[in-house]
Amino acid sequence: MAIAANAGSASADELDFQISIDGHDLIPAADTTASATSGTGDFAIAYGDGASATADEGQYDFAFANGANSLVDVDLGNGDVGAAKGADSLALVNGGNDSVALADGTSADSQALDGNNEFASVVGDGSGATAFNGDDNFAAVIGADSNALAGLGDQNLAAAFGPDLFASADLGNGIADVMPASLGTLIDPFLTRLLALL
């Protein structure tokens, strides 16, 4: 007597799921790519139709893309982490060591570029955070359609808490900009002293 296949089971292709370690794909999938093509211990996971995760040109890097057409690219550094969750979300880590870019939301964009210990984090649809061109910069957004930039120097902090805001801390060292302005007035002095201790 023939036994019918379990209708509830799904193939890797149906899940749009792929894992790659040191350039070796563990689960082939037609609609998604994950690659860790150089360096020791690189690890990439992609989940979603058209998702792409790359951990490349470094060591001990991790990339995780979760969502349709999400894109994570971690390269040119060691010990870096990039993760994006949501359709068309983006996380880039490039040109430094021990940096982190996290994006959570539809079309959210997080980038940690050209520096060490850079941290960029976004929670919100259509928002962006970039930590760039320096060391120990921190950019964070919680809210939709907001942006934060921290860079062109060291130990800068830019944070936006709410929708349709813009925070910028750049062109110097130890600068803090927190939006909305009413919140920033209360905590900017504390953050400036805190950054000076790092």
Distance CA 107, CA 104 (A): 9
Q: What pLDDT was estimated at residue 49?
A: 85
Q: What is the pLDDT of residues 176-192, one digit of tens each?
A: 999 997 765 656 565 55
Please name which of 146, 155, 114, 106 lies closest in space to residue 133, comparing C-alpha atoms: 114
Q: What is the pLDDT of residues 130-153, one digit of tens each?
A: 999 999 999 999 999 999 999 999
Q: What is the pLDDT of residues 6-31, one digit of tens each?
A: 444 444 445 688 888 887 888 765 55
Name the pLDDT band for 38 (thresholds 50, 70, 90): very low
